[in-house]
Chain A
Amino acid sequence: MRGRFRFGLSVVILTAALAAATAGWTASGERHASLQLLRVSSTAAVTTWDPIASFSTEVFYMANVYEPLIWATQTRKGKTTFTPGLASTWSHNGDSTRWTFHLRKGVTFHNGDPVTSADVKASIEAAADHGGASFIWSALKSVVTPDASTVIINASAPARIDLVASSEYDAWIVCKSALEAAAKDSKYWASGRECGTGPYMLKSYTAGTQVVLAGYQKYWRGLKGHFQNVVVQITPEAITQQQMLTSGQIDLAFYPPSENLKKLVASGKFTKTVAPTSETYVAFFNTTRAPLDNKTVRQALSWAMPYANIVKVGAYGLGTQSRGPVPKGIFPWSKTTPQYHQNLAKARKLLARAGHQGGKFTLNLTYAAENQAEARFAPLIKDAFKKVGVKVNLKAILFNQQWAQAKADPTKAQDIFLLLYWPTYSDAGADNLWSLFHSSKKPFFNLSYWKSETYDKLVDDGAAITGSNEAAAQSKYNQAMRMLYNEAPGAYLFDARVALLVPKGLTARGVMNINYPFVAFFYNVKKKG
């Protein structure tokens, strides 16, 4: 009898709940009629809340919670420039080995402590010592704090400390007390703690699901007219993001399906904002074995590559063909770097010259299965190469596996590796050119396995003089990029752009910044009018 009663009760509860649902009850009441809550969907997962160890997609949130000394931004002409962050002014000596930052007065951390030079010193030293991107501070010699609001960064050689201090990784200023606590307790950050100065505080984190940020009322730039709370639903599937957006569950979606952007804009509910990014796609040719150890074959394949179609189909037009592996808008990009354009006749001629009349060889191409753009444009490469007699076997595998295989044994690895890459900070000379094509004992990101002492020297020299003579560094890098064009260890496909769908009632100017890939600055989302 009791069993029947329990069963009956559960039926009643379920029925009541379903009835309530179909009756259209709403729990939310008013939506975001005020600036109380901004609802966002993003793919950005959190791998750590440690601002020093952070080196992944959690930067999406970190950039709203923490601030660097200075911010990198882009001029209308596409040059990188800097705006004040926690430092209101800064300067450097003649050879860029001594950088002085004057801290803004009256700024406090989220725990209420004032920002002092001791916090800056502790943050930089921690980043240089065990940061996820500690290499960006490789030129650091010492941090000196003559008073509470002055920080002097001494470099061991001329260095662009402004580029480093505005990096999206390992340039965040964290309160010293939290860093000291984290040094004693390795799990200090695990529960979702933070101690930044940014416009938002981390209110709660549900692992893998949701991040809630609450406005910091004492934020030095003020919070009036800005959203008071932000909730980010971590949604890996782009199509799910779209469903949430169109049903009104969220206000903003980052990376909704590119193929549906036109349709969504046509609905009249959204406006599309397109912004450049520093993400670039490269196809590495495995230079360790035949036939791709032959420069002429690589050049032939570079001429056979369907660049325009890759941008059109792979990126749905959201991109521009690359000029080398440096994305446009990031130093040392140059419009003088030559580009290949699809020319099948030329490709066939070069193949014949290399002893491969009519192609007649097979290549294995791997791409990241989870990357929708690569999944769309990889078949275009296969079709284009078929036209010059080269058969391509496509293999979609998870990026982590693809990467592990590529690094294991180059002679047994893939022939072509598709990679999406972005620089850690706004110096793609020291990053992209070095990481992607500089030789190393063990392969890391150079998955063409190409080795050239001349190239290495050009890039090393460029990096060494960037701080003291940018024009001379640019010249070195230009030579290096021209070498990459001639030697063709990879094909430089396209620089990606990102589209953000914004509901008609909101504006999102300044939400994206090319120098901070994967970041959305929620502070800049405002209501119209």
Chain B
Amino acid sequence: MKIPDLTELALRNLRESLLRNSLTTVGISVGVASLVAMLSLGIGLQQLFSRRLAKSGLFDTVLVTSRRDVRGMGRDRDDPSGPTPAESRVLDESARQEIERLPNVLEAYPDIRFQPELRFEDKPYLEIVSALPASAKSNDAFEGMQGSFFSSDTAPEVILQKTFAEKLLGKTPARGIHETNVADLAKPLLGQELTMLYSQRAPSSTTPLAPAAGAAAPSDVDLIGSTYSVVYRELKLKIVGISDQDPESMRGPTRARVFLPLKLAESLHVIQPADLREVSRAAGNQPVYSSVSVRVKNPAQVQLVEDAVKKMGFGTFSILDASRGLQQVFRVLYAFLGIFGSLALIVSSIGIVNTLVMAILERRREIGIMKAIGASDGDVQKLFFAEAGAMGILGGIVGVVLGWAIGQLINFGTNIYLKSQSFPPEHFWAVPWWLVALAIGFSFLVSLVSGLYPAGRAARLDPVQALRYE
């Protein structure tokens, strides 16, 4: 029999015992729905995590350090091909520019990070300050920020992280209450002045051998023949923004909660730990950095860039390894969710077997007639297969819709809960097209397997017996 004929006959037969076949199909759709719901939850959660991590700008960022600083920082240790610390290069401005010229690199900016004294309303605070490039404006980490981003890359302006803003206002949140409204913090702080006291590294204006006697250089540091002066400075900064997110959460305790524009921070020549160690190796008067952040065009190219930077003799670190571990976790999660989801489908496949075996008993005579007028065993078998398959596909389609609806419902409900806990709503349910195809295909396959036994039994039916049966 031709496929269209087969399909037509199968659908007709399914319509004949509408209730029974509908119930069986509903059984399949519940199975498919549970599979879809489970897997889409897994996929949605993974996407949520990926989105969160991508937002933080961690996935497309490679942290480059002079190898000396990253000794013992994981995989570099076991990398015999890499240069030994002795051959490692100094991370200075020329190195930064070289890195920036690497393919796939969007930008490379120095990590300027120091701990000055900050004065707000005459109260001193010790806080880590870091510099942000102008590109950080588009970073999702500053999504939901109150106020505005820096007006220019050199403006004497500052953005505060929410927790520091709370500290400034003496508003330490009570235990249990997780969130304070950023807008409440922003109102008294935006436009206010913050004074930063820091030590500036000024290159010795005269010869290193004979420090000039003058008030301009209160103290001179002489380090292995190289000399620079340290000048205490003070800078008034305007608070322009309060960030809700924690853009440096990956750095743990060393994360900064106060942010300056990059060019401004560079111009300050604040003394940095790297200065003491690297200044002697620096060529000429170039600035030396303790680390450089490299932004890669695409998270997929992180590995390439990392390799290229390593070849240059620097240490690198990216979140890639961490994300690999995460992928592993999600793969296990998928497997579990998939197994549980499939269980329901397998149970419903027994329903198909039952329905079709019943149908054989009921349609015994019909099978006999078909054989008497020329149907081959194969024709009868294919017909039952087609019926099973049609139930599988129909159940699959209904199931996908049902699973999607269940997901939406749970997502909706969870968001109501999140909202009541003053968390932002999340979209943690995703039904990608491949899952739709997979679910329907799987349902079809399971139903065909279920049809195997009934179809074989129908095909082997003895027509003489079947026709005698009343």
Whether chains A and B associate is no
A interface with B by C-beta (< 8 Å): none
**Which residues of B are in contact with A by a Cβ distance under 8 Å?**
none
